[in-house]
Structure 1
Amino acid sequence: MKKASIIMMVGPLFLLGLYIFPLWNIMLGAPQYPDPLGLNIHINGLKGVNEFDIQNIDGLNHYIGMHTLPKVEDMWEFGTFPTIIGIMVAIGVVIGILGYFNKVGYKWFWGWFVLMSILGLLGMYDFNEWLMDYGTNLDPNAIMKLTHPDGTPMTYKPPLLGHVKMLNFDVTSLPSTGAWLMFVGMMLTLTAGFWGWKNAKEQ
Protein backbone atom coordinates (compact mmCIF):
# COMPACT_ATOMS: atom_id res chain seq x y z
CA MET A 1 0.00 0.00 0.00
CA LYS A 2 2.92 2.33 0.65
CA LYS A 3 4.06 2.18 -3.00
CA ALA A 4 0.53 2.94 -4.17
CA SER A 5 0.26 5.83 -1.72
CA ILE A 6 3.53 7.38 -2.90
CA ILE A 7 2.27 7.23 -6.49
CA MET A 8 -0.97 8.82 -5.31
CA MET A 9 0.97 11.67 -3.71
CA VAL A 10 2.98 12.30 -6.88
CA GLY A 11 0.16 12.03 -9.43
CA PRO A 12 -1.85 15.15 -8.48
CA LEU A 13 1.33 17.24 -8.42
CA PHE A 14 1.48 16.95 -12.22
CA LEU A 15 -1.62 19.15 -12.34
CA LEU A 16 0.51 22.02 -11.08
CA GLY A 17 1.86 22.20 -14.62
CA LEU A 18 -1.47 23.82 -15.56
CA TYR A 19 -0.31 26.97 -13.76
CA ILE A 20 2.68 27.21 -16.11
CA PHE A 21 1.78 25.57 -19.41
CA PRO A 22 -1.27 26.07 -21.65
CA LEU A 23 -4.12 23.62 -21.41
CA TRP A 24 -5.17 23.88 -25.05
CA ASN A 25 -3.88 25.33 -28.32
CA ILE A 26 -5.72 26.61 -31.39
CA MET A 27 -3.76 27.37 -34.58
CA LEU A 28 -5.03 29.25 -37.63
CA GLY A 29 -3.08 28.87 -40.87
CA ALA A 30 -3.73 30.59 -44.20
CA PRO A 31 -1.73 31.52 -47.33
CA GLN A 32 -1.53 35.17 -46.25
CA TYR A 33 0.02 34.14 -42.93
CA PRO A 34 3.32 32.29 -43.53
CA ASP A 35 3.56 32.00 -39.74
CA PRO A 36 0.21 30.63 -38.47
CA LEU A 37 -1.70 32.59 -35.86
CA GLY A 38 -1.90 30.77 -32.56
CA LEU A 39 -3.89 30.95 -29.35
CA ASN A 40 -2.81 29.27 -26.13
CA ILE A 41 -5.61 28.67 -23.65
CA HIS A 42 -4.44 28.67 -20.04
CA ILE A 43 -6.60 27.99 -16.99
CA ASN A 44 -6.24 31.67 -16.06
CA GLY A 45 -6.42 33.43 -19.43
CA LEU A 46 -5.60 33.49 -23.14
CA LYS A 47 -2.20 34.20 -24.66
CA GLY A 48 -1.02 34.44 -28.24
CA VAL A 49 1.58 31.96 -29.44
CA ASN A 50 3.42 34.93 -30.94
CA GLU A 51 3.47 38.52 -29.73
CA PHE A 52 0.74 39.98 -31.94
CA ASP A 53 -1.40 36.89 -32.56
CA ILE A 54 -4.30 37.97 -30.35
CA GLN A 55 -4.42 41.41 -32.00
CA ASN A 56 -4.36 39.82 -35.46
CA ILE A 57 -7.06 37.26 -34.56
CA ASP A 58 -9.29 40.01 -33.14
CA GLY A 59 -8.71 42.06 -36.29
CA LEU A 60 -9.82 39.20 -38.52
CA ASN A 61 -12.80 38.44 -36.32
CA HIS A 62 -13.99 42.05 -36.50
CA TYR A 63 -14.68 41.74 -40.22
CA ILE A 64 -16.94 38.71 -39.87
CA GLY A 65 -18.69 39.88 -36.69
CA MET A 66 -17.06 37.66 -34.08
CA HIS A 67 -16.44 39.05 -30.61
CA THR A 68 -12.97 40.00 -29.45
CA LEU A 69 -11.20 37.33 -27.46
CA PRO A 70 -12.20 37.48 -23.78
CA LYS A 71 -9.93 38.99 -21.18
CA VAL A 72 -9.49 37.48 -17.72
CA GLU A 73 -12.23 39.64 -16.22
CA ASP A 74 -14.69 38.64 -18.96
CA MET A 75 -14.91 34.95 -17.99
CA TRP A 76 -15.55 33.57 -14.51
CA GLU A 77 -13.71 30.39 -15.51
CA PHE A 78 -10.34 32.14 -15.49
CA GLY A 79 -10.80 33.00 -11.82
CA THR A 80 -12.39 29.71 -10.77
CA PHE A 81 -10.36 27.03 -12.57
CA PRO A 82 -7.02 27.82 -10.85
CA THR A 83 -8.75 27.52 -7.46
CA ILE A 84 -10.38 24.20 -8.38
CA ILE A 85 -7.08 22.76 -9.61
CA GLY A 86 -5.31 23.87 -6.43
CA ILE A 87 -7.99 22.26 -4.24
CA MET A 88 -7.87 19.00 -6.23
CA VAL A 89 -4.08 18.83 -6.00
CA ALA A 90 -4.22 19.37 -2.23
CA ILE A 91 -6.96 16.75 -1.77
CA GLY A 92 -5.06 14.22 -3.89
CA VAL A 93 -1.81 14.67 -1.94
CA VAL A 94 -3.62 14.44 1.40
CA ILE A 95 -5.35 11.23 0.31
CA GLY A 96 -1.95 9.82 -0.66
CA ILE A 97 -0.48 10.73 2.73
CA LEU A 98 -3.44 9.19 4.58
CA GLY A 99 -3.09 6.06 2.46
CA TYR A 100 0.60 5.85 3.35
CA PHE A 101 -0.35 5.72 7.04
CA ASN A 102 -3.19 3.25 6.32
CA LYS A 103 -5.90 5.76 7.25
CA VAL A 104 -7.74 5.36 3.93
CA GLY A 105 -7.92 2.59 1.32
CA TYR A 106 -7.28 2.42 -2.41
CA LYS A 107 -10.93 3.26 -3.18
CA TRP A 108 -10.16 6.84 -2.17
CA PHE A 109 -7.52 6.93 -4.92
CA TRP A 110 -10.10 5.89 -7.48
CA GLY A 111 -12.59 8.32 -5.96
CA TRP A 112 -10.19 11.22 -6.60
CA PHE A 113 -9.68 10.00 -10.19
CA VAL A 114 -13.45 9.82 -10.81
CA LEU A 115 -14.05 13.28 -9.33
CA MET A 116 -11.23 14.80 -11.37
CA SER A 117 -12.54 13.09 -14.50
CA ILE A 118 -16.02 14.55 -13.93
CA LEU A 119 -14.56 18.03 -13.41
CA GLY A 120 -12.48 17.61 -16.57
CA LEU A 121 -15.52 16.62 -18.63
CA LEU A 122 -17.49 19.57 -17.25
CA GLY A 123 -14.59 21.84 -18.18
CA MET A 124 -14.54 20.46 -21.72
CA TYR A 125 -18.30 20.97 -22.01
CA ASP A 126 -17.96 24.56 -20.79
CA PHE A 127 -15.09 25.18 -23.24
CA ASN A 128 -17.16 23.82 -26.12
CA GLU A 129 -20.11 26.04 -25.14
CA TRP A 130 -17.80 29.06 -25.20
CA LEU A 131 -16.52 28.08 -28.65
CA MET A 132 -20.10 27.70 -29.85
CA ASP A 133 -21.08 31.16 -28.62
CA TYR A 134 -17.84 32.66 -29.90
CA GLY A 135 -18.35 31.26 -33.40
CA THR A 136 -22.11 31.66 -33.83
CA ASN A 137 -23.15 34.78 -31.87
CA LEU A 138 -22.11 37.21 -34.61
CA ASP A 139 -22.56 40.96 -34.90
CA PRO A 140 -25.42 41.58 -37.38
CA ASN A 141 -23.66 44.78 -38.48
CA ALA A 142 -20.42 43.03 -39.42
CA ILE A 143 -18.52 44.26 -42.47
CA MET A 144 -18.64 40.81 -44.07
CA LYS A 145 -21.86 38.78 -43.92
CA LEU A 146 -21.12 35.41 -45.47
CA THR A 147 -23.74 32.74 -46.15
CA HIS A 148 -23.88 29.10 -47.17
CA PRO A 149 -25.19 28.18 -50.65
CA ASP A 150 -28.66 27.67 -49.14
CA GLY A 151 -28.66 31.22 -47.81
CA THR A 152 -28.17 30.44 -44.12
CA PRO A 153 -25.58 32.57 -42.27
CA MET A 154 -22.11 31.07 -42.04
CA THR A 155 -20.76 30.38 -38.56
CA TYR A 156 -17.17 30.06 -37.43
CA LYS A 157 -17.02 27.74 -34.41
CA PRO A 158 -13.47 26.44 -33.97
CA PRO A 159 -13.32 22.68 -33.36
CA LEU A 160 -13.09 21.45 -29.80
CA LEU A 161 -10.63 18.82 -30.99
CA GLY A 162 -9.17 18.29 -34.44
CA HIS A 163 -9.10 20.23 -37.70
CA VAL A 164 -11.66 22.17 -39.71
CA LYS A 165 -11.54 24.44 -42.78
CA MET A 166 -13.05 27.89 -42.22
CA LEU A 167 -12.99 30.12 -45.30
CA ASN A 168 -9.33 30.02 -46.36
CA PHE A 169 -8.10 29.17 -42.84
CA ASP A 170 -7.06 25.76 -41.58
CA VAL A 171 -8.01 25.70 -37.91
CA THR A 172 -6.53 23.05 -35.63
CA SER A 173 -7.43 22.61 -31.97
CA LEU A 174 -5.41 20.21 -29.80
CA PRO A 175 -4.46 19.58 -26.16
CA SER A 176 -1.27 21.34 -25.11
CA THR A 177 1.45 20.64 -22.55
CA GLY A 178 -0.72 21.35 -19.50
CA ALA A 179 -3.40 18.92 -20.65
CA TRP A 180 -0.84 16.16 -21.22
CA LEU A 181 0.68 16.73 -17.77
CA MET A 182 -2.79 16.51 -16.26
CA PHE A 183 -3.39 13.27 -18.19
CA VAL A 184 -0.13 11.78 -16.86
CA GLY A 185 -1.05 12.78 -13.31
CA MET A 186 -4.50 11.22 -13.58
CA MET A 187 -3.07 8.02 -15.01
CA LEU A 188 -0.70 7.85 -12.06
CA THR A 189 -3.62 8.10 -9.63
CA LEU A 190 -5.40 5.36 -11.55
CA THR A 191 -2.26 3.26 -11.29
CA ALA A 192 -2.11 3.99 -7.56
CA GLY A 193 -5.64 2.66 -7.20
CA PHE A 194 -4.69 -0.48 -9.13
CA TRP A 195 -1.62 -1.11 -6.97
CA GLY A 196 -3.68 -0.53 -3.82
CA TRP A 197 -6.36 -2.94 -5.01
CA LYS A 198 -3.71 -5.55 -5.90
CA ASN A 199 -2.09 -5.18 -2.50
CA ALA A 200 -5.44 -5.52 -0.70
CA LYS A 201 -6.28 -8.60 -2.76
CA GLU A 202 -2.96 -10.27 -1.89
CA GLN A 203 -3.50 -9.65 1.81
Structure 2
Amino acid sequence: MKKASIIMMVGPLFLLGLYIFPLWNIMLGAPQYPEPLGMNIFIDGIKGFNEFDIVNIDGLNHYIGMKTIPKPEEMWEFSAFPKVIGAMVFLGVLIGFLGFIGKVSYKWFIGWFLLMSVLGVLGMYDFNAWMIDYGTNLDPHAIMKMANPDGTPMTYKPPLFGHANMLNFQVTSLPKTGAWMMFVGMMLTVVAFLVGKKNTSKT
Protein backbone atom coordinates (compact mmCIF):
# COMPACT_ATOMS: atom_id res chain seq x y z
CA MET A 1 0.00 0.00 0.00
CA LYS A 2 2.92 2.35 0.66
CA LYS A 3 4.11 2.11 -2.96
CA ALA A 4 0.59 2.87 -4.21
CA SER A 5 0.31 5.80 -1.81
CA ILE A 6 3.60 7.30 -3.01
CA ILE A 7 2.40 7.09 -6.62
CA MET A 8 -0.85 8.73 -5.49
CA MET A 9 1.05 11.61 -3.91
CA VAL A 10 3.16 12.14 -7.03
CA GLY A 11 0.30 12.04 -9.55
CA PRO A 12 -1.58 15.20 -8.51
CA LEU A 13 1.69 17.16 -8.44
CA PHE A 14 1.76 16.96 -12.24
CA LEU A 15 -1.25 19.29 -12.23
CA LEU A 16 1.07 22.05 -11.01
CA GLY A 17 2.28 22.24 -14.60
CA LEU A 18 -1.02 23.98 -15.41
CA TYR A 19 0.29 27.06 -13.59
CA ILE A 20 3.24 27.26 -15.99
CA PHE A 21 2.27 25.69 -19.31
CA PRO A 22 -0.76 26.33 -21.57
CA LEU A 23 -3.72 24.00 -21.32
CA TRP A 24 -4.88 24.45 -24.92
CA ASN A 25 -3.80 26.11 -28.15
CA ILE A 26 -5.74 27.50 -31.11
CA MET A 27 -3.84 28.36 -34.31
CA LEU A 28 -5.15 30.26 -37.33
CA GLY A 29 -3.33 29.99 -40.63
CA ALA A 30 -4.08 31.91 -43.85
CA PRO A 31 -2.20 32.85 -47.05
CA GLN A 32 -1.87 36.47 -45.94
CA TYR A 33 -0.16 35.39 -42.70
CA PRO A 34 3.16 33.60 -43.38
CA GLU A 35 3.39 33.11 -39.61
CA PRO A 36 0.10 31.66 -38.26
CA LEU A 37 -1.73 33.56 -35.55
CA GLY A 38 -2.32 31.70 -32.33
CA MET A 39 -3.71 31.76 -28.81
CA ASN A 40 -2.44 29.79 -25.84
CA ILE A 41 -5.16 29.18 -23.25
CA PHE A 42 -3.88 28.98 -19.68
CA ILE A 43 -5.98 28.32 -16.58
CA ASP A 44 -5.62 32.00 -15.64
CA GLY A 45 -5.84 33.76 -19.00
CA ILE A 46 -5.24 33.78 -22.75
CA LYS A 47 -1.94 34.81 -24.32
CA GLY A 48 -0.82 35.16 -27.90
CA PHE A 49 1.35 32.45 -29.40
CA ASN A 50 3.52 35.30 -30.68
CA GLU A 51 3.84 38.80 -29.26
CA PHE A 52 1.21 40.58 -31.36
CA ASP A 53 -1.14 37.68 -32.11
CA ILE A 54 -3.91 38.78 -29.74
CA VAL A 55 -3.91 42.31 -31.21
CA ASN A 56 -4.02 40.93 -34.74
CA ILE A 57 -6.79 38.43 -33.93
CA ASP A 58 -8.86 41.15 -32.26
CA GLY A 59 -8.37 43.32 -35.34
CA LEU A 60 -9.66 40.57 -37.63
CA ASN A 61 -12.56 39.80 -35.30
CA HIS A 62 -13.65 43.44 -35.33
CA TYR A 63 -14.49 43.25 -39.05
CA ILE A 64 -16.82 40.28 -38.66
CA GLY A 65 -18.36 41.40 -35.36
CA MET A 66 -16.68 38.99 -32.95
CA LYS A 67 -15.84 40.02 -29.42
CA THR A 68 -12.30 40.82 -28.37
CA ILE A 69 -10.28 38.11 -26.64
CA PRO A 70 -11.29 38.29 -22.96
CA LYS A 71 -8.85 39.53 -20.36
CA PRO A 72 -8.44 37.51 -17.14
CA GLU A 73 -10.64 39.86 -15.14
CA GLU A 74 -13.45 39.53 -17.71
CA MET A 75 -14.05 35.79 -17.14
CA TRP A 76 -14.72 34.27 -13.73
CA GLU A 77 -13.13 31.02 -14.90
CA PHE A 78 -9.67 32.56 -14.94
CA SER A 79 -9.86 33.28 -11.21
CA ALA A 80 -11.73 30.07 -10.28
CA PHE A 81 -9.71 27.49 -12.21
CA PRO A 82 -6.36 28.13 -10.45
CA LYS A 83 -8.11 27.71 -7.08
CA VAL A 84 -9.83 24.49 -8.17
CA ILE A 85 -6.57 23.01 -9.46
CA GLY A 86 -4.77 24.00 -6.26
CA ALA A 87 -7.49 22.38 -4.16
CA MET A 88 -7.34 19.17 -6.21
CA VAL A 89 -3.55 18.98 -5.90
CA PHE A 90 -3.79 19.42 -2.14
CA LEU A 91 -6.60 16.87 -1.85
CA GLY A 92 -4.76 14.30 -3.97
CA VAL A 93 -1.52 14.58 -2.01
CA LEU A 94 -3.47 14.46 1.25
CA ILE A 95 -5.28 11.27 0.19
CA GLY A 96 -1.95 9.73 -0.81
CA PHE A 97 -0.43 10.65 2.55
CA LEU A 98 -3.40 9.26 4.48
CA GLY A 99 -3.06 6.05 2.47
CA PHE A 100 0.63 5.91 3.32
CA ILE A 101 -0.08 6.02 7.05
CA GLY A 102 -2.97 3.57 6.68
CA LYS A 103 -5.86 5.94 7.34
CA VAL A 104 -7.68 5.46 4.01
CA SER A 105 -7.91 2.62 1.50
CA TYR A 106 -6.79 2.54 -2.13
CA LYS A 107 -10.42 3.15 -3.17
CA TRP A 108 -9.98 6.81 -2.28
CA PHE A 109 -7.40 7.05 -5.08
CA ILE A 110 -9.94 6.26 -7.79
CA GLY A 111 -12.39 8.58 -6.03
CA TRP A 112 -9.98 11.48 -6.61
CA PHE A 113 -9.60 10.44 -10.25
CA LEU A 114 -13.38 10.37 -10.77
CA LEU A 115 -13.81 13.78 -9.15
CA MET A 116 -11.03 15.24 -11.29
CA SER A 117 -12.59 13.66 -14.39
CA VAL A 118 -15.97 15.27 -13.64
CA LEU A 119 -14.30 18.66 -13.13
CA GLY A 120 -12.39 18.19 -16.39
CA VAL A 121 -15.56 17.43 -18.33
CA LEU A 122 -17.29 20.46 -16.80
CA GLY A 123 -14.30 22.60 -17.70
CA MET A 124 -14.37 21.43 -21.33
CA TYR A 125 -18.13 22.03 -21.49
CA ASP A 126 -17.65 25.57 -20.17
CA PHE A 127 -14.80 26.20 -22.63
CA ASN A 128 -16.92 24.98 -25.54
CA ALA A 129 -19.88 27.11 -24.40
CA TRP A 130 -17.61 30.16 -24.35
CA MET A 131 -16.40 29.41 -27.89
CA ILE A 132 -20.00 29.04 -29.11
CA ASP A 133 -20.87 32.45 -27.70
CA TYR A 134 -17.59 33.89 -28.99
CA GLY A 135 -18.22 32.64 -32.52
CA THR A 136 -21.98 33.12 -32.87
CA ASN A 137 -22.95 36.16 -30.79
CA LEU A 138 -21.82 38.69 -33.41
CA ASP A 139 -22.20 42.45 -33.57
CA PRO A 140 -25.09 43.14 -35.98
CA HIS A 141 -23.34 46.36 -37.06
CA ALA A 142 -20.11 44.62 -38.08
CA ILE A 143 -18.32 45.86 -41.18
CA MET A 144 -18.46 42.44 -42.84
CA LYS A 145 -21.58 40.27 -42.67
CA MET A 146 -20.88 36.84 -44.11
CA ALA A 147 -23.67 34.36 -44.86
CA ASN A 148 -23.90 30.64 -45.53
CA PRO A 149 -25.18 29.40 -48.92
CA ASP A 150 -28.68 29.08 -47.43
CA GLY A 151 -28.64 32.72 -46.36
CA THR A 152 -28.20 32.18 -42.62
CA PRO A 153 -25.51 34.25 -40.86
CA MET A 154 -22.12 32.55 -40.83
CA THR A 155 -20.71 31.62 -37.43
CA TYR A 156 -17.07 31.44 -36.46
CA LYS A 157 -16.85 29.01 -33.56
CA PRO A 158 -13.36 27.47 -33.39
CA PRO A 159 -13.30 23.68 -33.07
CA LEU A 160 -13.00 22.33 -29.54
CA PHE A 161 -10.60 19.70 -30.80
CA GLY A 162 -9.15 19.20 -34.26
CA HIS A 163 -9.25 21.19 -37.50
CA ALA A 164 -11.82 23.39 -39.27
CA ASN A 165 -12.02 25.85 -42.17
CA MET A 166 -13.26 29.34 -41.33
CA LEU A 167 -13.40 31.65 -44.37
CA ASN A 168 -9.83 31.56 -45.69
CA PHE A 169 -8.40 30.50 -42.34
CA GLN A 170 -7.34 27.01 -41.34
CA VAL A 171 -8.07 26.69 -37.62
CA THR A 172 -6.50 24.00 -35.44
CA SER A 173 -7.36 23.45 -31.76
CA LEU A 174 -5.29 21.00 -29.71
CA PRO A 175 -4.26 20.28 -26.10
CA LYS A 176 -0.85 21.57 -25.03
CA THR A 177 1.76 20.74 -22.39
CA GLY A 178 -0.41 21.60 -19.38
CA ALA A 179 -3.20 19.30 -20.55
CA TRP A 180 -0.78 16.43 -21.16
CA MET A 181 0.78 16.89 -17.73
CA MET A 182 -2.71 16.79 -16.19
CA PHE A 183 -3.46 13.62 -18.16
CA VAL A 184 -0.25 11.93 -16.96
CA GLY A 185 -0.98 12.94 -13.36
CA MET A 186 -4.50 11.55 -13.53
CA MET A 187 -3.29 8.29 -15.06
CA LEU A 188 -0.77 7.92 -12.24
CA THR A 189 -3.62 8.01 -9.74
CA VAL A 190 -5.28 5.16 -11.67
CA VAL A 191 -1.98 3.26 -11.47
CA ALA A 192 -1.91 3.95 -7.72
CA PHE A 193 -5.41 2.51 -7.40
CA LEU A 194 -4.49 -0.64 -9.36
CA VAL A 195 -1.27 -1.14 -7.38
CA GLY A 196 -3.15 -0.64 -4.11
CA LYS A 197 -5.83 -3.08 -5.18
CA LYS A 198 -3.26 -5.69 -6.20
CA ASN A 199 -1.36 -5.37 -2.94
CA THR A 200 -4.54 -5.58 -0.89
CA SER A 201 -5.71 -8.72 -2.68
CA LYS A 202 -2.44 -10.44 -1.73
CA THR A 203 -2.98 -9.88 1.99
The alignment's TM-score, normalised by the length of structure 1, stands at 1.00
Q: Secondary structure at the match of 1:95?
A: helix
Q: Name the counterpart of 1:162.
A: 162
Q: Name the counterpart of 2:20.
A: 20
**Mapping for residues 6-155 of structure 1, pairs under 5 Å:** 6-155=6-155
Structure-2 separation of matches of 1:9 and 1:18: 17
Deviation at residue 202 of structure 1 after TM alignment: 1.0
Structure 1: 5+ residue runs without aligned partners? none
Deviation at residue 149 of structure 1 after TM alignment: 1.0
Amino acid at match of 2:130: W
Q: Secondary structure at the match of 2:35?
A: strand
Q: Name the counterpart of 2:183.
A: 183
Count of residue pairs the alignment pairs up: 203
Structure 2: 5+ residue runs without aligned partners? none
Deviation at residue 34 of structure 1 after TM alignment: 0.5
Amino acid at match of 2:25: N
The alignment's TM-score, normalised by the length of structure 2, stands at 1.00
Across the aligned residues of Structure 1 and Structure 2, the Cα RMSD in angstroms comes to 0.4
Identity of aligned residues (%): 75
Amino acid at match of 1:202: K
Deviation at residue 21 of structure 1 after TM alignment: 0.2
Deviation at residue 124 of structure 1 after TM alignment: 0.2
Structure-2 separation of matches of 1:149 and 1:124: 31
Amino acid at match of 1:4: A
